[in-house]
Amino acid sequence: MQGRCVPCPQPTSQHHKVQVLSEDEVVVAMMDTARGWIRTCRSLCVLTGAGVSAESGVPTFRGPEGLWKMRDPMSLATPEAFAEDPKEVWEWYQWRRRKIRGCAPNAGHVALAAVEAAKTDFLLVTQNVDGLHRAAGSRRVAEIHGSIWGIRCTGCGAERYEQGDFTDLPPRCGACGGLLRPGVVWFGEMLPREASGAATDMLTRCEVLIVAGTSAVVAPASGYAALAKRHGARVIEVNPDETPVSRICDATFRGKSGEVLPSLLG
Ligand code: NAD
Ligand code: ZN
């Protein structure tokens, strides 16, 4: 039996070599595979969260800048907080709007805008309200949590986009005198019907889903990767940390989206 491996009947000279890859080589191989999935798929969906804007300097809810005037920002992003103290909620939004105004899209946003042009069936589903995907050139975007630049009247329902500061807080509607509110989705509120409908449609038909920069804990977006997977999509995650989505992913890249997305999509 010498010269042969058992139970394989081929002489060792003709036998394939079993390669032990280093961790870096595994990542490179996985990157090549994932790039192939993205390049050849007809239908591509991307789900993003606050992490894709981290390298642009957008303050997160939970990071060190999350503390605002010793208030928990999570407790300010609710309809109850607005009903109780609209001025304080507006002061916080005005503070966030000022911060975001000084932020520019990063290489991750730019790579996502570029891949859109190469795909006939594409949707970028974002939980971010900062508008940086559109600023980078993305057009097929479903902003499922609304936009921090959107303003809605709680009286007459009029909506508009407004990038400037308000001098008097809380601002009031010029037409009906009602309180104006930020056009974002607060905890406990329904998602905008059009954006969430477009997102679920795409998640049930996409061949590849990239999930980038989201902790995947805020519903319903936390269930989007599983939905796509159930409908046969390959799921790719880009996040420096493990998330609940990681275990159902076909490929995972542990890095910053501003670095990983340009390699993955370039
Ligand atoms: P999250 O803060 O819960 O999670 C952010 C995720 O990004 C984490 O998993 C983290 O590991 C990852 N991350 C950090 N740096 C990264 C990087 N450079 N590249 C890739 N990933 C990185 O954010 P979420 O999942 O979007 O949910 C929070 C909620 O807060 C959302 O509903 C969102 O609407 C809202 N929010 C939005 C913004 C924004 O518009 N930019 C900012 C703060 C909060
Ligand atoms: Zn009004």
Tell me the residue length of the chain. 266
Token pair belonging to 26: 């595994």
pTM: 0.90
Check if 20-57+105-145+191-266 and 59-102+146-184 are the same fold. Answer: no
Write out the CATH class of domain 59-102+146-184: alpha beta
Q: How far is the CA of 199 from the centre of ligand 1 (A)?
A: 18
Report the C-alpha gap between 193 and 46 in whole angstroms. Answer: 19
Q: Give the per-residue pLDDT at 5.
A: 38
pLDDT in tens, the chain (266 residues): 333 333 444 545 555 566 777 888 888 999 999 999 999 999 999 999 999 999 999 987 766 666 666 677 778 899 999 999 999 999 999 999 999 999 999 999 999 999 999 999 999 999 999 999 999 999 999 999 999 999 999 999 999 999 999 999 999 999 999 999 999 999 999 999 999 999 999 999 999 999 999 998 888 889 999 999 999 999 999 999 999 999 999 999 999 999 999 999 98
pLDDT at position 18: 67
Quick check: is 231 catalytic?
no
What's the rounded Cα separation, in Å, for the pair 50 and 211? 12
- Residue 247 three-state SS: helix
Contact at 8 Å (CB) between 204 and 227?
yes
Task: Give SS3 for 241.
Answer: coil
Q: Whose CA is nearest to atom 39 of ligand 1?
A: 128
Domain ranges of the chain: 20-57+105-145+191-266, 59-102+146-184
β-bridge partners, 46: 124, 210
**Gap between the Cα atoms of 127 and 123, Å rounded:** 13
User: Cα 135 vs. chain centroid, distance in angstroms?
Assistant: 15
Name the closest ligand to CA 181.
Answer: 2
Pairing outcome for strands 234-238 and 208-212? parallel
Task: Just give the CATH number of 20-57+105-145+191-266.
Answer: 3.40.50.1220
Question: Mutation test of ligand 1: which of 48, 214, 243 has the most ligand atoms closer than 8 Å to its C-beta?
Answer: 214
What integer pLDDT is reported at residue 1 of this predicted model? 35
Alpha-carbon Rg of the chain, whole angstroms?
23
Report helix, strand or coil for 58. coil
Q: Is the peptide bond before 171 cis (omega within 30 degrees of 0)?
A: no
In terms of Cβ atoms closer than 10 Å to its own Cβ (0-12, 13-18, 19+), residue 99 is middle
Query: Looking at 15, 16, 145, 231, which residue is catalytic?
Result: 145
